[in-house]
Chains A and B, each alone.
Chain A
Amino acid sequence: MAQKFIPTLTAGWWKRIPPFRLVLGLCPALAVTMSAENGLGMGLATAFVLILSNGAISTLRNVIPSKVRIASYIVIIATLVSIVEILMKAYFFPLAEQLGIYIPLIVVNCIVLGRAEGFASKNPPFISMVDGFSVGTGYAISLTLIGSIREILGAGTWFGNPVLGESFEPMAFLVTAPGAFVTIGTILALQNLYSRWRGEKFIQG
C-alpha cells in the first residue's frame, strides 16, 4: 500500500497526464478552454467526479456483477455528474452558464469511465481515490495550461487580467474552434519532442 501510494499519486501529473499522455477526454479539452478560468473550472469539476466515482466504484467492486459493470459505472458516474451540475448552478452560476452542456457531458468523458474500468475495479477504495485525485488534478492542470495559452495569445489576458500590454495584437484565431485543435496538436508535438530528447518512448494515438 505504502509503496504504491507515491507512484499512483504522481502518475497522473506526468506519466499518464490526460489528455496528452492518455489521449482521452479530448472533447472538453477542446471545447471549454477558451480561457484559463473555464479550463480550470472544467478540470476541477471532472476531478471531483473522478475522485468520488473511483471511490464509489472501488467500494462496490465486489458487489457489482461483471456482466453489467459498465452500465452500473455509468449510473454511478451520471449521479455524481448531476450533483456537480446542480452544485455549480447554485454556487458558480456564470461559470456553469459558460461551460453549458459540457458539464453534463462529463458522463461520457472517457477518462472517468477509463479510470473506473482500468483502476478502480481492481484496487481498494483509498488508493483508487488517490488515483482519481492524481489523474483529475493532472487533467485540471492540462486544461488550465491549454486555456492559458489560448487566452494569453488569443485575447491578451490571463484569468481575465490583461498581461501582454496595449501594443499586443491578439490572435483571435486561437480562441475560435480551429485554434483549439491546432493548440493541442502543437502541444502534443512539443511533448513528443521532449520525450525524444529524453529518450523516452513516443506516445501516439
Chain B
Amino acid sequence: MEYIYIAISATFVNNILLGQYLGNCPFLGVSKKIETAIGMAAAIVFVSILASIFTWSVFTFVLKPFNLEFLQTLTFILIIASLVQLVEIILKKKSRALYNALGVYLALITTNCAVMGVALLIAKNEMGFLEMLVFSSCSAIGYGLALILFAGIRERLLLSAVPQVMQGTSIALVTAGIMALAFMGFQGMA
C-alpha cells in the first residue's frame, strides 16, 4: 500500500516536471515532435533508474558510514556523468538499435536536472532500496508522460494562430502552466 502511495505521488501529484520544476531545458527543447519526446522519455526512464540505484548505493554504503554527506553533490554528478558515458558505450557495442533510438538524447541527459534531482531527493528523504526503486521509476515515468503529452499539444499548437509575440518559448511556457494546473488536480488523491 505504501508503495502504491509513493508511485501515485511520484507520477502525478508531485510530477517531477510540472510539480517540482526539474528538467525544463530538454522539456522545452525536445518537445516539438512526439517521436523525439518518446525517445527522450525512454532515455530518461532508463538512465534515471540506473543512476538512482548507483547513487543510492554510494550514498548509503560509502558516504553515510564515513560521514561524507557534504560530498554528495560532487559524487552524484560524477556518477551520473560517467554512467551516461558508460551506457552510451555499452549500447553502441551491444545494441545498435537501442543506441540509434536513444543515442542523441543520452548525451543531453548529463545536464538534465531531473536525473540529478531524483537522486538528491532520494538521498534527502533517506529512502530504502525498494522505495528508491519505486520512486525513481515512477518519477521518470511521470516525466516521460508529461513530456509526451506536452509534445502532442505542441504539435497542435503549430497549426493554430498564436499572436506573433507569444510564439515559441513564450506560448510553450504558458501551455505548460495550464498543464501543470491539470496536474495540480491530482493533489486531492494523496
Residues of A within 8 A of B (CB): 23-27, 30-31, 70-71, 74-75, 78-79, 81-82, 85-86, 100-101, 104-105, 107-110, 113, 176-182, 184-186, 188-190, 192-193, 196, 202, 204-205
Residues of B within 8 A of A (CB): 18-25, 28-29, 70-74, 76-78, 81, 110-113, 116-117, 120-121, 124, 163-174, 176-178, 180-181, 183-184
Closest to B71 in A: A82
- Chain A residue contacts of B164, Cβ below 8 A: 192, 196
Query: Do A181 and B177 contact each other (CB < 8 Å), given the known contacts A27-B24, A107-B116, A108-B113?
Result: yes
Query: Do A193 and B169 contact each other (CB < 8 Å), given the known contacts A104-B72, A107-B77?
Result: no
Complex-state Cα separation, A74 to B116, whole angstroms = 13
Contact residue among B25, B112, B180 (Cβ-Cβ distance under 8 Å from A26): B25
Contact A192 B72 (CB under 8 A): no
- Chain B residue contacts of A178, Cβ below 8 A: 18, 177-178, 180-181, 184
Closest to A180 in B: B21
**From residue B6, how far is it (CB to closest CB) to chain A in Å?**
18
Contact residue among B77, B111, B184 (Cβ-Cβ distance under 8 Å from A177): B184
Complex-state Cα separation, A100 to B120, whole angstroms = 10
Query: Do A108 and B177 contact each other (CB < 8 Å), given the known contacts A26-B28, A185-B172?
Result: no
Contact A193 B77 (CB under 8 A): no
Q: What are 27 sample pairs from A and B whose C-beta atoms fall under 8 A apart?
A: A25-B25, A31-B20, A31-B21, A74-B78, A74-B81, A75-B78, A78-B78, A81-B73, A85-B73, A101-B120, A104-B72, A104-B76, A105-B120, A107-B73, A176-B184, A178-B177, A178-B181, A178-B184, A180-B177, A181-B174, A182-B177, A188-B170, A189-B171, A192-B166, A193-B165, A204-B167, A205-B168
